[in-house]
Structure 1
């Protein structure tokens, strides 16, 4: 069987031979060398589990498919890598739905404020009808999304000035948010004063009091050492975010069908493994942050949801996402608008 690169397949449209015609032979050089990129550190569960998937895929295909993992933005920024994925320079890429929304607007729907009450609700929706709807929209843009989304965690609010327990505690609160309309509109609706700042500048913004607080998953609060410039952690779980495992559609469908099946199976399995990793990590991170002096606060989550409803936040985003997508979301999480 001749060695065919992904680029050769895309250029010629030539169908590859089945992988398992050689399954009984010794392993040899890969016929398909593919690139998988992410924005997570080398030691992050996402990277670890993706590397494990790559190893399983190589073994299951008798070395025919070799997926090389490039973590920690080695191949560029999220925007750069999304562009490379679309052109075929990268074969696979894990990306937040909130960032993917620049290409697929409905991909941000999982970030609607206070929509998901817990992880059971998240996985029911994202492994079910809501996830299927988003994947369908992704497919229309020339990409393939694997069935299982990876966990990036619930986001929590931190503060250096006061604990945030109820919506009224956010009145006039200067909070750093990512450069995204979904975040800005949510915190504005809650009466806060959101400030859009790139993450690289968050620590200094908190240290100099340009912002009183910020919001991120607990793991990132730990990694970025934000506990050094914050006092309180309010367990709002106001937004959930995940990483879609994306593939260049043209390149992926040009692979032999059995290779596609193996890749999808192993990447989806590693997504489930990563979810379990994050769940365990969240428990240990919370304990660690408490020992570093952060004070954890429980919040009145239904009150936040009611405040967003009264402010018209849900009605506005229903119009932006469309009746179909919003109807699917509410069928999973309950009435919002």
Structure 2
């Protein structure tokens, strides 16, 4: 009996040593830089999984498009060519109903977003992505609210945008929104936007705060207006090949961690944005915006979406206010 106990104990030690000596490498790739909230989210997820499953995984983070563009990363995770990705608006192209996150002034605040996404809306969005892409969504967090930076004047009312050439990302829907609030939308590659602002090819741009910060665009454009016109989630996604390779215990931990860190990711994103605003404010005038006239000018955009895709998700957002 003692020998049997010894053998069992020895086998356990050997098995534990084997796991520790041969952790599974897990790549988490993103198209955005280490200055983004997405990088923070990947770090937090990896750290928590490693704490709960010591020695079983070695996470390696690849920000800044090191493993491909956002579109390529989504294609590769669907194909099982990469274990995990942390992405944002590219996911919305998987299905037109997901375009709800391109609607203007959908959410009132970060708190409103969190209430909505941690309820039935988040569950519905997660299921939609998994059904359309054949992947496992481990978390829906924050990419951020988008604002306007420009070199001409503070934006306080839609009339302040009249005649301004604004670099706008996204498709026709967002360009249509900017036309309705008075701007002239321009298509410029993101990495060329600093030069375009500096040479006045464009008067301004719209993006999440960290985007302006990392590209240092605030150095050549003196007005930052907190328009919060669009909110974009971020998505932490695993390939089905990788997900299916995990044990039941490992899948349970991955899913729990993805859920458990959600509140912390929102707090971290808020702190990171404030840090960047503090730095940008040394060179740029930052102003709050009364959003009422902007919302009134774009009501037809939401009506078009509702007519085409129904009101179920919109109702869930309203209920979370």
Into which bin does the TM-score normalised by the smaller protein fall?
0.7 to 0.9
Q: Whose helix proportion is higher, 1 or 2?
A: 2
**Contact persistence 1:50–1:270 (CA under 8 A):** no
How far apart are the structure 2 equivalents of 1:114 and 1:322? Answer: 18
**Contact persistence 1:179–1:196 (CA under 8 A):** no
- Number of the residue aligned with 1:332: 320
1:48–1:153: structure 2 CA closer, same or farther, 3 Å change rule?
A: closer
Matches within 5 A, 1:276-315: 276-292=267-283, 294-309=284-299, 312-315=300-303
**Contact persistence 2:37–2:272 (CA under 8 A):** no
Q: Please, what TM-score do these two structures have when normalized by structure 1?
A: 0.83
Unaligned ranges ≥5, structure 2: 1-11
Unaligned ranges ≥5, structure 1: 1-20
1:134–1:22: structure 2 CA closer, same or farther, 3 Å change rule?
A: farther
Q: Please, what TM-score do these two structures have when normalized by structure 2?
A: 0.87
- Number of the residue aligned with 1:264: 255
RMSD (Å), alpha carbons: 2.3
- CA offset at residue 243 of structure 1? 0.7
- CA offset at residue 270 of structure 1? 4.1
| Equivalent pairs, count | 308
**Aligned equivalent of 1:153, options 144, 148, 156:** 144
- Number of the residue aligned with 1:133: 124
- CA offset at residue 77 of structure 1? 0.6
How far apart are the structure 1 equivalents of 2:247 and 2:69? Answer: 31
**Contact persistence 2:38–2:234 (CA under 8 A):** no
1:266–1:111: structure 2 CA closer, same or farther, 3 Å change rule?
A: same
How far apart are the structure 2 equivalents of 1:275 and 1:191? Answer: 32
How far apart are the structure 1 equivalents of 2:170 and 2:315? Answer: 27
1:270–1:41: structure 2 CA closer, same or farther, 3 Å change rule?
A: farther
Matches within 5 A, 1:18-33: 25-26=16-17, 27-30=19-22, 32-33=24-25
Worse overlay, 270-279 or 168-177: 270-279
- CA offset at residue 48 of structure 1? 4.2
**Contact persistence 1:57–1:66 (CA under 8 A):** no
**Contact persistence 1:56–1:266 (CA under 8 A):** yes
**Contact persistence 1:121–1:332 (CA under 8 A):** yes
Matches within 5 A, 1:40-119: 40-42=32-34, 44-96=36-88, 98-119=89-110
What is the DSSP-based 3-state SS (H/G/I as helix, E as strand, rest coil) of the residue aligned with 2:93? coil
- Number of the residue aligned with 1:318: 306
**Contact persistence 1:195–1:211 (CA under 8 A):** yes
- CA offset at residue 305 of structure 1? 0.7
1:123–1:56: structure 2 CA closer, same or farther, 3 Å change rule?
A: closer
- CA offset at residue 202 of structure 1? 0.9
